[in-house]
Amino acid sequence: MIEVEPPHRLVVTHFSPMSGQQDVPENYHRLTYDLQAVDGGTRVVLEQDNNPTTDSAEHSAESWRSMLEGLKKVAESADS
* Residues spanned by the domain of 33: 3-79
pLDDT tens digits, one per residue of 55-78: 888 988 999 999 999 998 998 898
In terms of residues, how long is the chain? 80
- Amino acid in the structure at residue 44: V
29 closest CA partner among 11, 6, 13: 13
**Average per-residue pLDDT for the chain:** 91
19 closest CA partner among 44, 64, 45, 50: 50
What's the CATH code of the domain at 19?
Answer: 3.30.530.20
Per the structure, how many domains does the chain have?
A: 1
pLDDT average, residue stretch 22-50 = 94
Determine how many CB atoms are found less than 10 A away from the CB of residue 40.
Answer: 6
What does the alpha-carbon distance between residue 46 and residue 37 come to, in Å, rounded to a whole number? 15
